[in-house]
């Protein structure tokens, strides 16, 4: 087969894979403090994207819209934590699974009615005209996705490893009560992680919307892939998520080309089930020791 076509598919797919990785990072942040993830994260991405669209339509320039959107994302993350997660964490149950699903549904329905059910274009100052790099068509938009994703991930890794607050994340997840006794507010840390996760969702929305357009259903496709990436890489791995994201994106693209576009979802799903079956903690994750 024509090499340039394969290269094109792999590269385009890999860029999309970076978005999956970014959303997966949102999971990682909250898992790191509370072993919980927001099953409605996709809807969070979508609602933040819509909010940014509204800001833009109200006349805000791009560089003002971004911080506005980030603030919104943080607030929404806090809302998720307070309404859907905290109660379950306090009861040490897993009720947050169902509750975050429910909250996601609520966001979805609200978005449908507030912004309408249509997909809308998302304005961006970055051009979507392709450039040829090594024979492959790449748009500056896609490059901005890569830049954005790596920047955010770098920041998060720095945060986790170098700052005290980052260490607090690990402490709370390892032993909530002990951390509290050490003067770390478990609730506060969990809140912070959800706020950060919300901001990551906003960044993902801003980066991906110009490519996929903004619509109520934009996230439902994204979210399963992000789950796949998070689980296959391991919910507590750092860089592994980027690697798995790139690979998954490329695989999907190749699958849709060679097998048929409808089968694009298949690699991610099969990988997810296999990963869960064979190595639930992920390729790069740490094994868990049960204590009785």
Partner 1 sequence: MKGQWKRFLLLRGVELAALVLLAAVPLAITNPFALALLTLLAIYGILLIGLDVTVGYLGQVNLGHAAFLGIGAYCAGLTVAILGWGMPAALAAGFAICLALGALLALPALRLEGPQFALATLSFSALTTTVINEWESLTQGAQGLQVARPPVLGVALAAPGFYWLCLGLLALVWMAMRNLLGSRWGRAFEALRDSPIATDAMGVGTYRHKVIAFALGSSLGGLAGGLYAFNFQYLQPQSFTYELMVILLLGVVLGGRKSLWGAFVGAALIVLLPNLLSNRLLFQIFSAIGLGLAVFAAGRGLAKKTTKPFQALAPVVATGLLLVGSLLVANTEDWRKAIFALTLFSVVVGLPEGLMGFAAAALTKVFRIASAPLPDAAQLESVLPARAAGGEPLLELHQLMRHFGGVHAVDGVSMTVSAGHIHGLIGPNGSGKSTAVNVISGLYAPSGGEMRLRGKPLPVGSLFKVAGCGIARTFQNLQLFGELSAIDNVMVALKDVFHTPVPLVMLGLAFNEERQARAAALTLLQLVGLGARARVRAKDLTYGAQRFLEIARALARKPELLILDEPAAGLAQPDVAELVKIIRRVHELGVTIVLIEHHMDVVAELCDVVTVLDGGKVIAEGPAHVVKRDPKVIEAYLGAVATEVAQ
Partner 2 sequence: MKKTLIAAAMVAVSTGLLAVQTFAADTVKIAITGPFSGGSAPMGTSMRDGAKLAISEINARGGIDVGGKKMKIEVIERDDEAKNERGALIGQELASMGDLSGVIGTVNTGVVLAGDKYLNEKGITKIITPAAGSQSMTQWARPEVKDLSIFRFAAHDGIQAAMVVEEAINRKLTKVALLHDSTNYGVSGRDDLLAQIKKQGGKLEVVATEKFNIGDKDMTAQLLKTKAAGAQAILIWGIGPELAAIANGMAKIGMKVPLIGGWPLSMSNFLENAGKNGNGTIMPQTFIEEPITPKAKSFIAAYHKAYNVKRIPSPVSAAQGYDAVLIFAAAVKQAKSADTHQIKEALEDLKDPVPGVITTWQHPYSKWDPAKEETHEAFRREATVMGMVKDGQVVFANDADRARLTKAAAGKGK
Please choose, from the candidates 81, 101, 85, 83, the residue with its C-alpha nearest in 3D space to the C-alpha of residue 93: 85
Among 26, 215, 245, 267, binds partner 2 (CB under 8 A): 215
Comparing CB distances to partner 2, the nearer of 121 and 154 is 121
User: E strands, 122-224, where?
Assistant: 131-133, 136-138
Q: Return the residues of window 244-283 that contact partner 2 according to CB under 8 A.
A: 253, 256-257, 261-262, 264
Sole window of 41-49, 160-168, 179-187, 208-216 interacting with partner 2 (rule: CB under 8 A): 208-216
Which residue spans within the chain are E strands per DSSP?
131-133, 136-138
Give the footprint of partner 2 on residues 54-83 (CB under 8 A).
none
**Least distance to partner 2, CB of residue 219, Å:** 11
Closer CB to partner 2, residue 33 or residue 256? 256
**How far, in Å, CA of 278 to CA of 111, rounded?**
38
Please report, as residue ranges, which positions from 40 to 99 form the binding site for partner 1 (by CB under 8 A): 83, 86-87, 90, 94-95, 97-99
Q: Is 283 helix (H, G, I), strand (E, B) or coil?
A: coil
d(CA 269, CA 171): 32
Q: Do 253 and 10 touch, CB atoms closer than 8 A?
A: yes
Per rule CB under 8 A, is residue 111 in the interface with partner 2? Answer: no
Please name which of 18, 17, 42, 15 lies closest in space to residue 197, comparing C-alpha atoms.
42
Q: Which two tokens stand for residue 232?
A: 């296959």
224 binds partner 2 (CB under 8 A): no
Return the residue of 60, 78, 106, 165 that touches partner 1, per CB under 8 A. 106
Helix (H, G, I), strand (E, B) or coil at 256: helix
- Contacts to partner 1 by CB under 8 A: 36-37, 39, 83, 86-87, 90, 94-95, 97-99, 101-103, 105-106, 108-110, 112-113, 220, 224, 227-228, 231, 260, 262-263, 265-266, 269-270, 272-274, 276-278, 280, 289-290, 292
């Amino acid at each position: 087969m024509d090499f340039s076509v394969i290269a094109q598919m792999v590269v385009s797919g890999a860029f999309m894979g970076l978005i999956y990785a970014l959303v997966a990072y949102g999971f990682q942040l909250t898992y790191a403090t509370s072993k919980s993830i927001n099953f409605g994260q996709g809807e969070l991405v979508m609602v933040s994207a819509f909010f940014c669209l509204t800001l833009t339509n109200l006349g805000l320039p791009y560089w003002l819209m971004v911080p506005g959107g980030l603030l919104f994302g943080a607030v929404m993350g806090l809302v998720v934590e307070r309404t859907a997660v905290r109660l379950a964490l306090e009861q040490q149950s897993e009720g947050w699974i169902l509750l975050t699903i429910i909250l996601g549904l609520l966001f979805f329905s609200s978005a449908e009615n507030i912004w309408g059910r249509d997909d809308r274009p998302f304005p961006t100052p970055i051009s979507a005209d392709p450039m040829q790099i090594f024979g492959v068509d790449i748009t500056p938009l896609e490059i901005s996705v890569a830049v954005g994703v790596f920047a955010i991930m770098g920041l998060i890794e720095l945060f986790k490893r170098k700052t005290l607050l980052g260490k607090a994340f690990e402490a709370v997840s390892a032993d909530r009560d002990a951390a509290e006794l050490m003067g770390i507010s478990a609730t506060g840390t969990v809140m912070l992680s959800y706020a950060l996760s919300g901001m990551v969702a906003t960044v993902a929305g801003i980066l991906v919307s110009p490519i996929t357009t903004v619509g109520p259903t934009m996230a439902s496709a994204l979210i399963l892939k992000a789950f796949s990436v998070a689980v296959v890489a391991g919910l507590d791995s750092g860089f592994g998520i980027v690697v798995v994201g790139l690979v998954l994106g490329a695989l999907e693209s190749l699958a849709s080309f060679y097998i048929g576009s409808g089968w694009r979802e298949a690699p991610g799903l099969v990988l997810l089930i296999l990963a869960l079956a064979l190595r639930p903690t992920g390729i790069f994750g740490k094994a868990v020791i049960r204590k009785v």
